[in-house]
Chains A and B, each alone.
Chain A
Amino acid sequence: MRRALAAPALIILGMLASTAASANPQPWQLNMTRGATETSAQVHDIHMIMFWICVVIGVVVFGVMFVAMFRFRKSRGAVAATWSHSTKLEAAWTIIPILILIGSAWPATALLLRMADTSDSEMTIKVTGYQWKWRYEYVDYFGKQPGINFVSSLETQSNRTRQLDSGLDPAAIKVDGVSTYLLDVDKPLVLPAGVKVRFVVTADDVIHAWWVPSLGWKQDAIPGIINSAWTQVDQPGVYRGQCAELCGRDHGFMPIVVKVLPKAEFEQWMTDQAPAPAVEATAITLAPTTAPQG
């Protein structure tokens, strides 16, 4: 058993080295990405905090266990004691875990509050999951309605290759030398860098989940219900993800690609896309039918 655990333990130690963040999954990647946003970096940090708490507890508990297994073997002439109770010990190992848990719940709560706060967003994207593609609608950009609306699905080369017995090599599908097999789409979601983007996520047919690891979260897309989430990516780049909720036959074949452009380039892209002129938002406030007095 010691041997069985040694290999994973060595690999876990290797995790320390893997700090480089990347938009794509890497071969032999061991750890969660730090991602491209402040939120995703904080998620990564809390993941590492929990990981090291677990490692420390594991080392102590398994350490004691291995010492016991070595020292108290019958073959070494160990004679069994008869005690079976210790109030002090039992109190200690009830209270210490409580303190550890409170210690870890604190940062988790703070981060969750931050992640739930969609206020002050400057842009709204509506994401709709379909079997087996995503629709993106640009609902609002700084109070304007870009009127952009398109469907994003698996690009054709991956789609050909992934058919049963296609005889095509998945490793041949690359962008900039990195495999994009099943992680590339015909039309990516384009976002501006440095803008707080709010997503409203829903689905048409069955439940899907919109997940880009570099953004640090996933959100289920549920028919009839809209859920909101937000992100702010400061670094332009291409970030890839996949549907994360089983949604039928081609669940594995509906990737997500988010292309983040510098703000000026994004606005240029938007003008190139938009078919109709954007409409200025105005409020139509009616006189209350039954006017409150005063």
Chain B
Amino acid sequence: MKSDSGQHESTPRAARVKHDARGIAKTALFVVGASFLFGFAMVPIYRIACEHVLGIKLSGEAADAATVAMMKVDESRTIAVEFVASVNSKLPWAFSAEKARIEVHPGALTEVWFDATNESGAAIVGNAVPSVAPSEASPYFNKTECFCFTEQTLEAGESRRMPVRFVVDPQLPAGVKTLTLSYTFYANELATGRLGLVSGSANGVAKN
């Protein structure tokens, strides 16, 4: 055993060892790839876990009309619903709830109004992000109509009165007596940019 040794040596042992090592490395690389994908898979898993395990509704989609229609008004209970309106500091809008607080019976379809005004000198697209506190109550808060379902475009100086129609599910846990519904308006820079392009090209056409 004078000569080179270790990995340079091609004894049967070294050869066998090397071959198996490749296999293990391949399996390990497969695990690595799988966990990298799992990192991204956590995005949908997070949503599913929130909505189905922890009972937090994240999506701002409209409630199913048929489900809402099935709900019976529970006159025996009164829930205070508070509305909180915020505008992200990067968006030059004013935004407020016409009523800061109302009392509703679960199951009753209720309409409230919000006012938004574009205080800048240009058209801007905004998106409202909803959030409900306590978060456990969010699946019981059904909106049939909401300005948060779509992008809102306000021309320079334009004001808009926007409705939200909602039903509080009579199944709402008994402990919850106050609900807070929050909307935060954010500038949708991408859509605003597109707006500029559209009007820009329109202007161009007009000049020609």
Chain A interface (Cβ < 8 Å from any Cβ of B): 116-121, 124, 126, 128, 130, 137, 139-140, 143, 145, 198, 200, 202, 204-205, 223-228, 279, 281-290, 292
Contact = CB atoms under 8 A, between A and B. Distances in A.
B88 A200 contact: no
Contacts of A288: 69, 73, 108-109
Nearest to A146: B100
B65 interface: yes
Nearest to A124: B82
B117 interface: no
Looking at chain B, what size class is its interface with the partner chain?
35 or more
A224 B82 contact: no
10 contacts: A118-B178, A139-B82, A200-B182, A205-B88, A224-B129, A227-B133, A288-B69, A289-B109, A290-B65, A292-B71
A215 to B, nearest CB: 18
Contacts of A143: 80, 101
Contact of B101 (A139, A204, A225, A290): A139
A261 to B, nearest CB: 22
Given A124-B82, A202-B182, A288-B108, A117 B175 contact: yes
Given A139-B82, A226-B84, A226-B182, A285 B104 contact: yes
B105 interface: yes
Nearest to B78: A283
Most chain A CB atoms below 10 A, which of B100, B112, B177, B184: B100
Interface string B80-119: 1010101011000000000111111100111110000000
A228 B133 contact: yes
B47 interface: no
A150 to B, nearest CB: 15
Contact of B177 (A119, A223, A227, A289): A119
A285 B110 contact: yes
A117 B71 CA distance: 26
Contact of A200 (B89, B101, B180): B180
B20 to A, nearest CB: 33
List the 7 shortest-distance A-B pairs measured between CB atoms, nearest first: A228-B133, A226-B182, A145-B100, A290-B69, A224-B129, A283-B102, A226-B133
B26 to A, nearest CB: 39
A126 B111 contact: no
B134 interface: yes
Contacts of B110: 283-286
Interface in B119-153: 129, 131-135, 144
Contacts of B111: 284, 286
Contact of B131 (A117, A130, A225, A289): A225
B176 interface: yes
Interface in B26-55: none
Contact of B178 (A121, A226, A283): A121
B41 to A, nearest CB: 22
A139 B69 CA distance: 31
B70 interface: yes
A284 B84 CA distance: 17
Given A284-B112, A288-B73, 19 more contacts: A119-B177, A128-B86, A130-B89, A140-B82, A145-B101, A198-B178, A200-B133, A202-B86, A204-B88, A223-B88, A223-B184, A224-B186, A228-B134, A279-B100, A281-B103, A283-B102, A284-B111, A286-B108, A287-B109
Contacts of B135: 227
Nearest to A140: B101
A140 B101 CA distance: 7
Contact of A126 (B84, B104, B144): B84
A270 to B, nearest CB: 15
Given A139-B84, A290-B65, A119 B133 contact: no
A116 B173 CA distance: 14
